Structure 1
Amino acid sequence: MSGPTPYAELTAHLRGIAALDQVSGLLMWDQETQMPIKGAAQRAEQNAAVASARHALAGAPALADWIAELASADLDPAAAVNVAEAARIHRRATRLPVTLAADLARVTAEAFSVWQMARAAGTYADFAPILGRIVALKRAEAACLAESGQSAYDALLADFEPGMTSEELALIFGRLRPGLTSLRERIAESGWSMPRFVGGFGKAGQVALARRLGDVFGYDWDAGRLDLATHPSSSGSNGDVRITTRVNEGDPRECVYSTVHELGHALYEQGLDPEQAMLPAGMAASMGVHESQSRLFENQLGRSRAFCEWLVLALGAQFGATGVDMPESLYAAVNAVETGFIRTEADEVHYNLHVMLRFDLERALVAGDLEVGDLEMAWNDRFLADFGLEVPAPRLGVLQDVHWSAGLFGYFPTYSLGNIYSAELHVALGRAVPDLDELLAIGELRPAIDWLRENIHRKGRLLAPRALIAEACGHEPTEAALLEYLERKYGALYRL
């Protein structure tokens, strides 16, 4: 009797690796939403144990044997992706010492609670020592993983956006910045002010509205849940996709658009090909593509004039008078351009400028051109230069994001790539669904989601990130569509 084929053994092994990745995600979700503060030390050891077990599977000699046996096999596209990704996973694992992988998992689990407390206390010095440990470990990781001629930062970036380089990102940002700063200046000079929300917006009401948004955007509640956290996030895949949001009782925009943003991530994960569940071919193409889904939901759809027809009624039903009780006034309020400190609350004109700041600082940290002890001053100086404001407290500056405490160096630029991709996808979606605005106005998102399912979600990693977007849009993505969209939208809003 013949045994399992090499491909069957390889895919079973890959699913084991994916299962441990999912366990890590659940541990992080629990730490952000449920875990008592005194559990941090135990959680650090749990994370280290999972990371060690994952490293053993990823670096197993048997995986290399199956890959070699399948090198000349006639494979379908999904199987070919799974074998190629298995080779990448194995190569990176064998270059990375297990002790380093475990140390990174341990220290980032410790760092989350330290970051939370430092953020609440408003003291960067409380967070700097553990951030210094993370940066040292990430530099060591990059040194192990870098290919010949590849920079340390690019070695880390490859985990989030395969095929992208920091050099290309710098060129993209260099082309984006003039258009963004010009638009910002013209808006500031226009003299137009936008209406504001008035009144109180209780936590229970905002959570109820967030759940209603989940219904409208097609979130499968049998495969997910919604919780509150310090920093909104989405985690999991397929049948278990969890989102978090946060509440500001003086302004419902934060909860509404954090929720819609995370729903974009969640719908992507719930829409992946179930036949390839827990295999690389059935995973998201990249974080840039992932962010394209969240930014499309949040901005082009969720902040559209059409969707405000539905949203103004939902807000009124939940809270009564809000100060922006007509679709036109709500549309203006949710698209107000204001120079602020917080990236996740930034308008579309300022958002990418926030990302550029983080990209430059974290690239300098990884390269050793900036040390952790100087990071707060470097952040504040750069923010003053870019935004014209002095940062009054670390929670509004260097401590606002969770990413560096989690060791996610190389993640930030994918937000801007997501904005670029989402602008291209919005144009293509408008061609495919000609009555999109009419549907948004009544809270009907199914045709849009069906198009995304077919053109993005179900395709997983069958194509490289930019090739996937190019196939959906009919051309290579560039920043031109994003700049055109922003000029058109904000030119009309501010009578430019």
Structure 2
Amino acid sequence: MTAYDALMAFTRETEALAQIAGRLDWDQETMMPRGAGPQRGEECAAIAGVLHARRIDPQVGEWLAALEDAELDATAQAQLRHIRRSHARNSKVPAALATRIARVTSEAQGIWAEARANEDVASFTPILKEIIALRREEAQALSEGGPLYDALLDDYEPGTTGDELAAMFGALRPALAELRAAVREAPAPPALTGRFDEAAQMALSRTLAEVFGYDMTHGRVDKAVHPFSSGSGLDVRITTRTNPEDPFNCFYSTIHEVGHATYEQNIDRAYLLTPLGAGVSMGVHESQSRIYENQIGRSRAFTGWLFGQMRDAFGDFGIGDEETFYASVNRVADGYIRTEADELQYNLHVLMRFDLERALMAGDLGVADLEAAWNDRFAADFGFAVDKPSNGMLQDVHWSVGLFGYFPTYSLGNVYAGCLHEAMRAAVPDLDDQLSRGDASGATAWLRENVQRHGGLYAPREVIARACGAAPSEAPLLAYLKQKFSDIYDL
């Protein structure tokens, strides 16, 4: 067995264990009994310790050293690039710290869920303070004197810095605010009203999952407080949620998570249980979920088909034609919840979180002041006050599980999606005809071929540039949003 073969055999075992760890997280959010949290924390800590030990195993370093000048093909070189990066990063983090982070963030999920249900920020604050301290300690080990936030961001979007994102978002924010102000002055389309059977919502959401190419023989759809996708390769699971007064929440959460899930399902099977066998970054991942949800799922053509499906599932639900339904699906409305935000205002939610968590990591904002800072910024950006913590700083699970540096990838994913949509429209000129029949295969096949199948073969921005023929820019997203909402609101 060559050094490369031995390294890859060891790596596949590590990746298999990582999938098991992910299944523990999935179970915690879907099936686990409420009282099992403390034990699950110990289980997660134990497997995190095993994974950390494998990722820093001296033998991995020896194999990498032996392969330093080896003549290998592009795929093997890409595998080594990921393994080297993982080995170097994990070697800087003490095993005890990695285990502690896994234990505390596992326990924190239950504490956050209870605090959210009880509108009780004070019960969540102590463990959030501990999580931030642990993540800052980890960032200090990784940063080599650079910004702490960048060290954490690199986990989710390798090669990108906070300053680069701040510049991109600085170009987005005023343009979005200007368009939002114009829309709010215009007459609004009708809102969906009434009650919609939750079992029927779940049935239609499963239909939508299959329309967008989700392979149910290698996946499943469950309900959770916060929708998410979990796993890769042959076992990729998603969750959604239902609200009897808002079926769009269920449908578009499902489509969003299917974007994540099909990315993982469509990666070249030759990469299974290797570093190339997962999405290359969260920004690229979000580009798939957001283009599925918005540019495809909220398009005039697709909503025309969805209107008929809604009529079949719920009968007359108060909206009489496809054009009104399209406007209703894309209605810009005041709201507190990021995951329920309309396409125009969504990024404003993300940019707020980006600024707050950078301040937390820099030590410029303390946890005790976070709720007030959130509420002040929200009022400034959205023009009305947060009414309760579950609509404010307790609404997202991310900080409770330590995902600092994750939030900006949502808006970066929107930027990437804008670029991909522009290229996809040029490549699939009859796309609207297909979507009007409920056929998303033209779009999903183009994304599978140009983005998804590559997995981790290329660097994140290279994936987008190869698919689009140009470096990513916020310009296509802004042009798309301006055209779409100017049309809907007759601006």
TM (norm. structure 1) is: 0.98
> Once the 2 structures are TM-superposed, how far is the Cα of residue 281 of structure 1 from its aligned partner?
2.1
Q: In structure 2, which of residues 26, 30, 37 is the aligned counterpart of residue 33 of structure 1?
A: 30
Q: CA separation in 1, counterparts of 2:21 and 2:325?
A: 40
Structure 1 residue aligned with 2:149:
153
Q: CA separation in 2, counterparts of 1:369 and 1:115?
A: 23
Q: In structure 1, which of residues 296, 305, 309 is the aligned counterpart of residue 304 of structure 2?
A: 309
1:274-327 C-alpha deviation (Å, 9 max, x unpaired): 101111122211100000000000000000000012100111111111122421
1:424 and 2:415 aligned:
no
Structure 1 residue aligned with 2:326:
331
Report if aligned partners of 1:312, 1:325 keep a CA contact under 8 Å in 2. Answer: no
Residue type of the alignment partner of 1:184: R
What does 1:439-450 correspond to in 2, within 5 Å? 439-450=434-445
Structure 2 residue aligned with 1:260:
255
1:19-39 C-alpha deviation (Å, 9 max, x unpaired): 222112111110100001100
The alignment partner of 2:226 has SS state of: coil
Q: CA separation in 1, counterparts of 2:297 and 2:262?
A: 14
> Once the 2 structures are TM-superposed, how far is the Cα of residue 340 of structure 1 from its aligned partner?
1.2
Structure 2 residue aligned with 1:233:
228
Structure 2 residue aligned with 1:67:
64
1:186 and 2:157 aligned:
no
Question: Which runs of 5 or more structure 2 residues have no equivalent in the other structure?
Answer: none
Report if aligned partners of 1:424, 1:473 keep a CA contact under 8 Å in 2. Answer: yes
Q: In structure 2, which of residues 349, 353, 362 is the aligned counterpart of residue 354 of structure 1?
A: 349
1:98 and 2:95 aligned:
yes
Q: CA separation in 2, counterparts of 1:362 and 1:289?
A: 21
Structure 2 residue aligned with 1:200:
195
Report if aligned partners of 2:230, 2:237 keep a CA contact under 8 Å in 1. Answer: yes
Residue type of the alignment partner of 1:388: G
> Once the 2 structures are TM-superposed, how far is the Cα of residue 139 of structure 1 from its aligned partner?
0.3
Structure 2 residue aligned with 1:209:
204
Residue type of the alignment partner of 1:494: Y
> Once the 2 structures are TM-superposed, how far is the Cα of residue 492 of structure 1 from its aligned partner?
0.6
Q: CA separation in 1, counterparts of 2:462 and 2:430?
A: 27
1:167 and 2:163 aligned:
yes
> Once the 2 structures are TM-superposed, how far is the Cα of residue 219 of structure 1 from its aligned partner?
0.7
Report if aligned partners of 1:79, 1:281 keep a CA contact under 8 Å in 2. Answer: no
1:379 and 2:374 aligned:
yes
Q: CA separation in 2, counterparts of 1:214 and 1:189?
A: 36
Q: In structure 2, which of residues 83, 86, 90 is the aligned counterpart of residue 89 of structure 1?
A: 86
The alignment partner of 1:349 has SS state of: coil
Structure 2 residue aligned with 1:57:
54
Report if aligned partners of 1:233, 1:262 keep a CA contact under 8 Å in 2. Answer: yes
> Once the 2 structures are TM-superposed, how far is the Cα of residue 128 of structure 1 from its aligned partner?
0.5
1:321 and 2:316 aligned:
yes
Residue type of the alignment partner of 2:459: A
Q: CA separation in 1, counterparts of 2:199 and 2:213?
A: 21
1:345-402 C-alpha deviation (Å, 9 max, x unpaired): 1111111110010001111111111111111111001111111111110000000000
1:134 and 2:109 aligned:
no
The alignment partner of 1:348 has SS state of: coil
Structure 1 residue aligned with 2:3:
6
Report if aligned partners of 2:256, 2:289 keep a CA contact under 8 Å in 1. Answer: yes
Q: CA separation in 2, counterparts of 1:410 and 1:325?
A: 44
The alignment partner of 1:284 has SS state of: coil
Structure 1 residue aligned with 2:73:
76
> Once the 2 structures are TM-superposed, how far is the Cα of residue 150 of structure 1 from its aligned partner?
2.1
Q: In structure 2, which of residues 406, 411, 414 is the aligned counterpart of residue 411 of structure 1?
A: 406
Structure 2 residue aligned with 1:454:
449
Q: Percent of pairs identical after alignment?
A: 54
Q: CA separation in 1, counterparts of 2:443 and 2:331?
A: 26
Q: CA separation in 1, counterparts of 2:413 and 2:451?
A: 13
Deviates more, 1:18-27 or 1:375-384: 18-27
Q: CA separation in 1, counterparts of 2:469 and 2:90?
A: 37
1:490 and 2:485 aligned:
yes
Report if aligned partners of 1:146, 1:155 keep a CA contact under 8 Å in 2. Answer: yes
Deviates more, 1:56-65 or 1:198-207: 198-207
RMSD in angstroms over aligned alpha carbons?
A: 0.9
Q: In structure 1, which of residues 429, 433, 436 is the aligned counterpart of residue 431 of structure 2?
A: 436
Q: CA separation in 1, counterparts of 2:486 and 2:471?
A: 26
Q: CA separation in 2, counterparts of 1:52 and 1:152?
A: 23
Residue type of the alignment partner of 1:76: D
Count of residues in Structure 1 that have an aligned counterpart in Structure 2 = 491
> Once the 2 structures are TM-superposed, how far is the Cα of residue 104 of structure 1 from its aligned partner?
0.4
The alignment partner of 1:427 has SS state of: helix
Q: CA separation in 2, counterparts of 1:299 and 1:323?
A: 23
Q: CA separation in 1, counterparts of 2:320 and 2:23?
A: 40
The alignment partner of 1:477 has SS state of: coil
Question: Which runs of 5 or more structure 1 residues have no equivalent in the other structure?
Answer: none
Q: CA separation in 1, counterparts of 2:360 and 2:411?
A: 20
Structure 1 residue aligned with 2:118:
121
Report if aligned partners of 1:26, 1:236 keep a CA contact under 8 Å in 2. Answer: yes
1:401-430 C-alpha deviation (Å, 9 max, x unpaired): 000011000000000011011111111111
> Once the 2 structures are TM-superposed, how far is the Cα of residue 18 of structure 1 from its aligned partner?
1.3
The alignment partner of 2:264 has SS state of: helix
Report if aligned partners of 2:303, 2:326 keep a CA contact under 8 Å in 1. Answer: yes
Q: CA separation in 2, counterparts of 1:79 and 1:323?
A: 57
The alignment partner of 1:364 has SS state of: helix
What does 1:261-300 correspond to in 2, within 5 Å? 261-300=256-295
> Once the 2 structures are TM-superposed, how far is the Cα of residue 131 of structure 1 from its aligned partner?
0.6
1:239-285 C-alpha deviation (Å, 9 max, x unpaired): 10000000010111100110000010011000011101111122211
Q: CA separation in 1, counterparts of 2:298 and 2:57?
A: 48
1:90-133 C-alpha deviation (Å, 9 max, x unpaired): 11121111110000000011000001000000011111111111
The alignment partner of 1:159 has SS state of: helix
Report if aligned partners of 1:11, 1:279 keep a CA contact under 8 Å in 2. Answer: yes
The alignment partner of 2:478 has SS state of: helix
Deviates more, 1:237-246 or 1:276-285: 276-285
Q: CA separation in 1, counterparts of 2:121 and 2:423?
A: 44
1:444-470 C-alpha deviation (Å, 9 max, x unpaired): 112221111111011112211111101
